[in-house]
Structures are given as structure tokens and as C-alpha cells.
Amino acid sequence: MSQPYPWGYPVRADQATEFTAEIPLVEPTVLTFVATSVEDSRISVSAHRLVIPEVPLTGAMAVVMVIPGLLTELTEPATGASIIEGTSTTITAQVRMMCGCLIDNLFWPAADFNVQAIISNGAEGQTLTLSYTGTPSIFATPYTFPSSGDYEIRIVATELNGNSGSTAPVIVKVTPK
């Protein structure tokens, strides 16, 4: 892609990732097409199309599928990290489009994303907003863990057009001073 496309604007088939196959059909057949994210195999989309023999699915007839969602990852602190209570720590997350594209203010403006860290140690919980750092796809905020114990951190990201993503909880250990 050489220019940004607004959400919902059709991408030209000759500029999209493609898969080519020849399926010898003898009669019109409904086929199911499935695309799965290479980054997260739990995420996929499918489409059913009536395919007519000898009519190629190219150009305006191409099957175009969009994999919605956001890939989110807590990059700092690492799972199992040991942090000293009362010490400022940076909570850092990487957020990308499901296709793997970076949020870089060219195709995917950082201002369109809300990235939050949900931090809890049992009953207490706090939600922090992470800010875009200027490095593609990286969002961060400082945080000081107030007391010792095991803390769970989860990253949740949403985009204005409805895409969303979340990490599994990561446990960090906060030790006394």
C-alpha cells in the first residue's frame, strides 16, 4: 500500500495480500473461504461465495476479507519481573493491527487508539491510560506499585473504528523496600 486508506474504503485487490488456487469445478458451488491471523490463530474470518466454473475470482470479483482486531502485548515489565515497592516502573505495551501493521501515524494514527493497563493485586484494581511514545506501536506510562505482593497486569486496547484487543494477565512480583 502506498497511500493511507480510510476504514471501510476498499483496498484494490492488486495491493492486498493474496492467495491463488485453481479449483476444478463442474457446476456452480458455494465455497467457504477462511483467513486466519498469522499472529493470533484464535482470530479468523470466513466468507461464503457462490463460485461459477470458469469465472475467475480476480479483480472486481476477488474475495476480500478483513481480519478485525488488535494484537496487544505487555512488553514491560516482563512476566515474573521483580519490582521494588515504591519504585517508579514504566508500563509499556505494543499494539498492532491484526495484520501485524504498526501504529505509526501514517496509516493508523495513534490518536485513534485508547490503550489501558488494568493493574490489580486481589481486590484492589486501577486502570491507567498509556500514551503513544512516538515509537511505532509503543504505548507507555509510569507507575509506582504502592505495596508488595503479586500484581496482575492486563493491557486492553480499542480503536475508534471498533477494533479491540486484550492480553492475558501477566503477574509481576513487588517486593518490600
Domains and CATH numbers, the chain: 16-61 (no CATH), 70-175 (2.60.40.10)
* pLDDT classification of 32: cutoffs 50, 70, 90: very high
DSSP 41-61: TT-EEEEEEEE-TT----GGG
In this prediction, residue 26 carries a pLDDT of 93
Tens digit of each residue's pLDDT (9 = 90 or more) over 126-142: 999 999 999 999 999 99
Q: Which cell numbers in the block locate residue 100?
A: 501485524
In this prediction, residue 95 carries a pLDDT of 94
Tens digit of each residue's pLDDT (9 = 90 or more) over 72-126: 999 999 887 889 999 999 999 999 988 777 888 777 899 999 999 999 988 778 9
Amino acid at 174: V
Flag whether pLDDT at 16 surpasses 70.
Answer: no
Is 69 buried (19+), middle (13-18) or exposed (0-12) by CB count in 10 A? buried
